Amino acid sequence: MKALSIRILSLLVGVAVVLAFGVSTSFSAEETKFKEEYKLTLNVAPSFYWGMGATKFAELVKEKTNGKINVKPYYNSTLLKGAQLQSPQMVAKGIIDCAVESTINSSTVIPAMNIFSFPFFINNFENLDKIENGETGKAIFVEMEKIGLKPLAWGENGFRQITNSKRPIEKPEDLKDMRVRVVGSPIFIDTFRQFGADPVNMNWGDAVTAFQQGVVDGQENPVGVLIPVQIYQYHKYVTFWNYLADPLIIYWNKEQWDAFPDDIKKAIQEAANEAARYEKAIARAGLDGDKSLNILKNEFKYTMEVPDPIKFFQEKGMTVTILSEPQLKAFAESAKPVREKWVPQVGKDIYDKAVADMAR
Ligand code: X2X
């Protein structure tokens, strides 16, 4: 009993010392407004292209705010215990300060974001850029602000490609009865059911074990995930079909953002723009001719380890299938009912904006 009360007493003294010390060495009035650490969530590891973007953002924020703002990335959704679809709520509530997140992982909270997951709808970089920089992108940012998120910049996970351990996928029937791991977002389940596959939704944190153990036959992700995760260890076949786009958005808790002084806002915004440009170039490297490789070389003095993803997969022994126009048409036709079903769910206005943006 006595020992316990001494321990409690010493604990109290400790706390008092920390408090007194904290007060006596307090920072200048301006600096005390900032947290010691701003927590950033993202669903993947630092080695993923998306992870490299988050790391870059944290570095640039530190640099551009002269160390006043310290963003710490928490990779692999550790702050969410792997529940990747919860990032927008957690940032909106201010439990997490900011994020570099996939639109897929916010799509259950912000339905408009499902426009990117429409199968065989946005099928190339040009269309994607038109949508992000156009009326659709603007409208999505407005939706984010409504729920308490301040969007800063578009990054990119990439166009998602399908891999599997069974056979080359060239037509919808090739997916028949194939067990495919998908993100826990309903449009993915609809799409793969439409192709006759057997989709299984699973958080990314559980997915790699499922590939290892052969619990699923296939999965779909962009090269920026497939290369670092060494997908060729599990799957021999990859089909490049650009069936849907997966942008990232760098965003901040809005209330916290609004309270930042203007110079801090400006510095963080610049960091987001620069990190997003870098990350997008990495995600597109070798998939858009020399364009992104040159951006990396000239603006960021960065040389890609894998400058040609398709060649890389071939060298790793994978069978790479690149769908021809008629093959893509067959998939697009097969997926039509999914797009139709989802128009009211994303909102007719968003859908119309996307169609108009792409036609521009
Ligand atoms: O779960 C996935 O497949 C991933 C890593 O791409 C996302 O977080 C959307």
CB contact at 8 A, 177 and 166: no
Question: Ligand 1 atom closest to Cα of 220?
Answer: 3
The span from the CA of 331 to the CA of 224, in Å, is: 24
The C-alpha angle with vertex 360 and arms to 293 and 326, in degrees rounded to 5, equals: 70
Task: Indicate the top mutation candidate among 41, 42, 43 to test ligand 1's pocket, ranked by most ligand atoms within 8 A of CB.
Answer: 43
Kindly state the average pLDDT of the residues 301-309.
98
Residue 35: other Cβ atoms inside 10 A: 10
The structural domains of the chain, ordered by start, are 35-158+247-300 (3.40.190.170), 161-244+308-359 (3.40.190.170)
Nearest CA to ligand 1 atom 1: 204
pLDDT tens track for 142-189: 999 999 999 999 999 999 999 999 999 999 999 999 999 999 899 999
Helix, strand or coil for residue 242? coil
Distance 44 CA to ligand 1 centre (A): 8
The finding on whether 113 has its CB within 6 A of some atom of ligand 1 is: no
The pLDDT, as a whole number, for residue 19 is 45
Q: Is 301 left (phi over 0), alpha (psi -120 to 50) or beta?
A: left
Best probe residue, ligand 1, of 104, 162, 208 (max atoms within 8 Å of C-beta): 104
Q: How far is the CA of 204 from the centre of ligand 1 (A)?
A: 6
Pocket test for ligand 1, best of 102, 163, 188 (most atoms within 8 A of CB): 102
Q: Does the pLDDT of residue 22 top 70, yes or no?
A: no
43 lines ligand 1 (CB under 6 A): yes
For the segment 109-113, the average pLDDT, to the nearest whole number, is 97
Q: Give the pLDDT score at 245.
A: 97
Nearest CA to ligand 1 atom 6: 221
Question: Looking at ligand 1, which residue's alpha carbon is closest to its atom 4?
Answer: 204
Give, as one character, the DSSP assignment of residue 184: S
Q: How far is the CA of 209 from the centre of ligand 1 (A)?
A: 15
Would you place residue 7 in the very low, low, confident or very high pLDDT band (cuts 50, 70, 90)?
low
Exposed, middle or buried, 142 (CB in 10 Å: 0-12/13-18/19+)?
exposed
Q: What is the CA radius of gyration of the chain?
A: 23
Given a cut of 60, is residue 310 above it in pLDDT?
yes
Residue 148 CA, ligand 1 centroid: distance in Å = 23
What is the C-alpha to C-alpha distance for residues 249 and 108, in angstroms, rounded to an integer? 15
Provide the pLDDT for residue 33: 84
pLDDT at 16: 45
Among 49, 75, 101, 105, residue to substitute to test ligand 1 (most atoms within 8 Å of Cβ): 105
pLDDT of 6 > 50? The answer is: no
